[in-house]
Amino acid sequence: MVSTSTAPTRAALEPWRDRLRHLEDVTGPVIVACSGGPDSLALLALAVDAGLDPVAVHVDHGLRAGSDTEAAFVASVATRLGARFHGERVTVEAGPNLEARARDARYEAIERARAELGATVVLVGHTADDQAETVLLNLLRGSGAAGLGGMPARRDHIVRPLLGLRRAETAEVCTRLGLTPIADPMNDDRAFRRVQLRHEVIPALEQAAGRDLVPVLARQAEVLRAESDFLDALARAAWPPGDGTAPARALAAMPPVLARRAVRCWLGGLPPSFDEVERVLAVARGDARATELAGGRRVRRSRGELVAEQSR
């Protein structure tokens, strides 16, 4: 498809035109998850320039006054850049884990929009800085190699084309296009652990290391992600489960390293903790009859098979 970008826009995007990644086999139309911040606006402009026929999808969580005006702003920018616009609204109740629950609601709404609009993939604007923060967050949570691999560049319908760009570069794209992105106050609220990492922990680590750590962490994530994906493939091949059930004895006989990965691959969804995986393996060995997992899930043993189900 021929790009609809104007000549001035194309000139402004010249330094970043060839910096999008993981789009080799992607065709339009695509969804661009667009909050109105610098990362998503830059991604929208670059997707238009690349001829991907993007639809800017804005999700209003209703978490702060005036959020409806943000949707109008994204719609106006989309029109200016030559993209379509689609708005979604979700309800996220106040309470613990607000950031995670808002994220889950946002992705569900975006996936609904993708299916409704017939888009091939969803592009999200995570940068190398976001990847570095994710690696450190997962380290603090005690994640294994998969967590230290950060966010995948592509999984299912989600693609992250900006993982090779820095946050400062997306801000520069907006400046060159004459856009004033929306400032999300949550990005400065240090009650959120990611914000603490961004403004306190990473600067302190960089001062101690005497270097910019974002490229280091992003490169480490890329290497560990590839290794983790390879080991996951080995685990699936060694223990191919059925639909909701899996042979217990075969799992119990596997080397622990592959067995743990096989359990994580089998359960999918919310990644189980190390303790949860060990409890599932105990069920496979026959040391326990069943175990409860986070998210209302349960694994039990029945006639030599492991059965994964929602708790009643």
Question: How confident is the model at residue 206, as a pLDDT?
Answer: 95
Closest to 3 measured CA to CA, from 72, 56, 60, 54: 54
Backbone angles phi, psi at 77, to 5 degrees: -65, -40
Question: How confident is the model at residue 183, as a pLDDT?
Answer: 81
* CA 136/CA 142 separation, integer angstroms: 10
Q: What is the pTM of this model?
A: 0.84
Task: Please name each of the domains of the chain with its CATH number.
Answer: 7-125+160-188 (3.40.50.620), 239-310 (1.20.59.20)
Question: How confident is the model at residue 90, as a pLDDT?
Answer: 82
Q: And the tokens for 43?
A: 């991604």
Helices (H), the chain: 7-12, 38-49, 67-81, 98-117, 128-140, 145-148, 167-177, 193-196, 202-209, 214-238, 248-252, 256-267, 274-285
Contact, 183 vs 38, CB < 8 A? no
* CA 146/CA 263 separation, integer angstroms: 13
* CA 75/CA 81 separation, integer angstroms: 10
* CA 230/CA 274 separation, integer angstroms: 20
Contact, 196 vs 190, CB < 8 A? yes
Mean pLDDT by 10 residues, the chain (312 residues): 53 89 92 96 96 94 73 94 92 68 84 94 97 92 81 93 96 95 76 88 96 96 92 92 84 94 85 87 95 89 91 66
Q: Name all contacts of 151-156 with Cβ < 8 Å and 24+ positions apart.
A: 151/126, 151/221, 152/225, 153/21, 153/22, 153/225, 154/22
Question: How confident is the model at residue 1, as a pLDDT?
Answer: 34
Question: How confident is the model at residue 306, as a pLDDT?
Answer: 95
Question: How confident is the model at residue 3, as a pLDDT?
Answer: 42
Question: How confident is the model at residue 310, as a pLDDT?
Answer: 81
* CA 289/CA 298 separation, integer angstroms: 11
* CA 167/CA 144 separation, integer angstroms: 26
